[in-house]
Amino acid sequence: MNERVVVVDDDVIILKQANMILTEAGFKVTCLKNGMLLMDYIKMNSVDILLLDIRMPEMDGFETILALREWEKDNQHDAVPVIFLTANEDADSEAKGLSLGAMDFIRKPFSSEALKIRVRNFLDLIMLQKDLHREVQKKTAELESLSLHVVHTLAKTIDAKDAYTNGHSERVAEYSKEIARRYGYDEDRQEEIYMMGLLHDVGKIGVPDTVINKPGRLTDEEFDLIKKHPMKGAEILATVSEMPKLVTGARWHHERFDGRGYPDGLKGEDIPEEARIIAVADAYDAMTSHRSYRDIIPQDHVKSELEKGKGSQFDERFAQIMLEMIAEDTEYTMHE
């Protein structure tokens, strides 16, 4: 079945361009000129994804999404995924849009390939989320209730948002599981932390690709957007009631042992133990992965950074286990 895409923009040229590109890509496209027409349309039709212009007369994109969310709430309707169309790069507008529930932004003017790929990727991601939720609903609270295939696919889709990482979530999950094993976790808890590691970055769904893939230094506003991903991830995983601990890895993997982390500034033992383990694994993989501005960091320097972070950034016990794993890796194979 062709997915249903609605495009709302007061610019007729943009509507014609989007209609041609997306129709040729196999989507069922409806074009509307303003938010009021959208509100009339949504009451009678299903929509898989909405592309919504920000700057429109009478009822702008922000007012439209607010009206849409209110109608959905009143009518117990599932939230329609929204991507904003914008011609500017205003960080405040991006922050406001994300806070209102938009998934991302697409810059205008857009290329045909970029538009097709972005819409396809977002629809695939939405389907994976629905699959994950359906998998959990079918089972009980047991760990086996989650389909590893679905979770792996979701993790790969999250990683694909970052052009400079490949397999990050899988590696963090593996490192976390090994640290937990060496620390004394039983097999069930090892599998649990593995799953938490796979989904620790799920909140990056809510961070614009332009920010994640920016090659240079982030502005304060852009870094603030990045720092929202732990809370966004926790919100997403909170719906998986059968595995409440999934939230732990997503929300607290950027907390620091000295209390200077985010989003909650937790300190020491107040940070859940699994999150302290994932924090070490996440930092290690960040240092041993390629970035746009550097190659993989030499192993000796990685060791030095972990040593320096013991007791400040990291729980000393888990940093020490990671250092023992590094010492055994004499050929330096643990990297991207």
Q: Are 119 and 49 in contact (CB under 8 A)?
A: yes
**Token digits of residue 331:** 């050929």
Spell out the alpha helix ranges (H) of 139-200: 148-159, 168-183, 187-198
Asked if residues 169 and 157 have their Cβ atoms less than 8 Å apart, the reply is no
Asked if 21 and 53 count as a contact pair (C-beta separation under 8 A), the reply is no
Question: Residue 107: which H helix or E strand, with range?
Answer: strand 104-107
Who contacts 218 (Cβ-Cβ below 8 Å, separation ≥6)?
Answer: 211, 226
Radius of gyration of the chain (CA): 21
Based on the residue annotation, tell me whether 204 is a catalytic residue of this protein.
yes
Could you give the CA distance from residue 231 to residue 10 in angstroms, rounded to a whole number? 34
- Out of 108, 161, 177, 204, the active site residue is 204
- Cβ atoms 254, 295 nearer than 8 A: no
Q: What amino acid positions are annotated as catalytic residues?
A: 204
